[in-house]
Amino acid sequence: MTAARAPLALTMGEPAGVGGEIALKSWLRRSDGVPPFVLLDDAARLEALAGRLGVDVPVRRTADPAEAAALFPDALPVLDMPLPAPADPGRPDPANGPAVVESIARAVRLALDGAAAAVVTNPIHKGALHRAGFGFPGHTEYLGHLAGPGARPVMMLACPELRVVPVTIHVSLLEAARTLSTEAIVETAAITADALARDFGLAAPRLAVTGLNPHAGENGAMGDEDARVVAPAVDRLRGRGIDARGPLPADTLFHARARATYDAAICMYHDQALIPIKTIDFDGGVNVTLGLPFVRTSPDHGTALDIAGRGLAREDSLMAALALAARMAGGRRAATGA
């Protein structure tokens, strides 16, 4: 099956969370431009969940992802992965952890084999997976492991108005400042520029690089990290032919006029990147992993255990993740001639 016809592979995520619900709701909105996907999940669980929510979603088990595109207009295609324990909304069970992990691994295998156009992951519950013996901090690190040597996963958050990439991610603010390096900024920004050209079709990507400190250090009055660490990274990126500017004060970088001047913002720490995008588009933001040999996107929210199984979860972010995965996969095919 060619990648152009292959469906997206959507993972189950945490069975006690909202992943199944937003998958069902996304299928119901397939006429709104949702691309065909095959869900790697427990088919019986999905049927019971549809009944609980009162939504009319016929579930069709299939052993062949190639059938998914043909099934998709009339039914939700599912590669059946029965869970070992019941999925009680709001109450993660570590016994289901191995099935959650296998759903991710199987989706990646499908993508690497060309049977899936891209991987879209539903949110996982890291605590439940760690109690089940999962040895990775989260999705991103596990996906890098599955991709093999040479992969350098980079997290991007994207919505129509903004793309942001944090250099340091899930560490304390003190640790982020301590470990930030010129090399990490250069590597992260270079991977971002390559992805913008290859997957997003931008011939000459423009990067805005934030400063670490208020006012980008204000000539050393508020710390020397911007002059000592960030500015040399920008110089090295320019030396590689990458259109990069900075270090720029983060407090003036995210209003509409400023956003029009760049294609992605390279940010120094987690909240510097995530606060603006979640403020601009809380429901429609997408988590993208760059630097992998396959396209991967995910909704930019968690498992929402507090509302799981109640019909309250919004599908907007998953729909955006599916649509962006399809566009990126198409862009990569066009760029590589695959």
DSSP 135-151: -SSSHHHHHHHHH-TT-
In whole angstroms, what is the distance from residue 299 CA to residue 319 CA? 8
**pLDDT band at 284; cut points 50, 70, 90:** confident
What is the rounded average pLDDT of the residues 11-39?
A: 96
For range 158-168, the mean pLDDT? 96
pLDDT of residue 149: 87
Average pLDDT score over residue span 133-161: 91
Q: What is the pLDDT of residue 5?
A: 75
* Structure tokens that stand for 103 in this block: 């759903």
Say which DSSP state 34 is in. Answer: P
Report how far residue 205's alpha carbon sits from residue 242's, in angstroms, rounded to the nearest whole number: 7
Mean pLDDT computed over 247-251: 96
What is the enclosing helix (H) or strand (E) of 256?
helix 256-259
What pLDDT is attached to residue 283?
85
Residue owning tokens 């913002």:
265
Confidence (pLDDT) at 271: 95
- The predicted pLDDT at position 247 comes to 97
47 three-state secondary structure:
helix
Mean pLDDT along residues 105-123: 97
Strands 162-166 and 206-210, by their bridges, are unpaired
In the chain, where the domains are located? 1-154+293-338, 161-280
Tell me the per-residue pLDDT of 24-33, one tens digit each, with 9 for 90 and over: 999 999 999 9
Phi-psi region of 19 (alpha: psi -120 to 50; beta: other; left: phi over 0): alpha
Q: Hey, is 40 helix, strand or coil?
A: strand
Which of 165-174, 191-200, 255-264 has the lowest average pLDDT? 165-174
Helix axes 43-53, 19-28, angle to 10 degrees: 70
CB atoms within 10 A of CB 299: 30
The Cα–Cα gap between 115 and 6 comes to: 6
State the pairing for strand pair 76-80/59-61: parallel
pTM attached to this predicted model: 0.92
Q: Write the single-letter amino acid at 222.
A: M
> Nearest-5° angle of CA 297, CA 140, CA 212?
100
Q: Give the rounded percent of residues in the chain with a pLDDT score beyond 70.
A: 98
State mean pLDDT over 97-116. Answer: 96
The CB density around residue 84, as the number of other CB atoms within 10 Å, is: 11
Question: Residue 58: which residues within 8 A CB-CB, separation 6 or more?
Answer: 74, 75, 76
CA distance 212 to 189: 15
pLDDT computed for residue 16 by the predictor: 96
CB atoms within 10 A of CB 94: 17
Architecture of domain 1-154+293-338 in this structure: 3-Layer(aba) Sandwich (3.40)
pLDDT higher than 90, residue 157: yes
Give mean pLDDT, residues 133-154: 90
CATH number for the region 161-280 comes to 3.40.718.10
Q: Do the first three CATH levels of 1-154+293-338 and 161-280 match, i.e. the same topology?
A: yes
Biggest alpha carbon–alpha carbon distance for the chain? 63
Q: In terms of Cα–Cα distance, which of 35, 29, 14 is closest to 329? A: 35
| Antiparallel, parallel or unpaired: β 8-11 and 59-61 | unpaired
Q: Where are the beta strands (DSSP E) in 59-213?
A: 59-61, 76-80, 119-120, 154-159, 162-166, 206-210
Position 86 scores a pLDDT of: 93
pLDDT for residue 2 is more than 60: no
Distance between CA 69 and CA 38 in Å, rounded?
8
- Name the token pair of 306: 């507090």
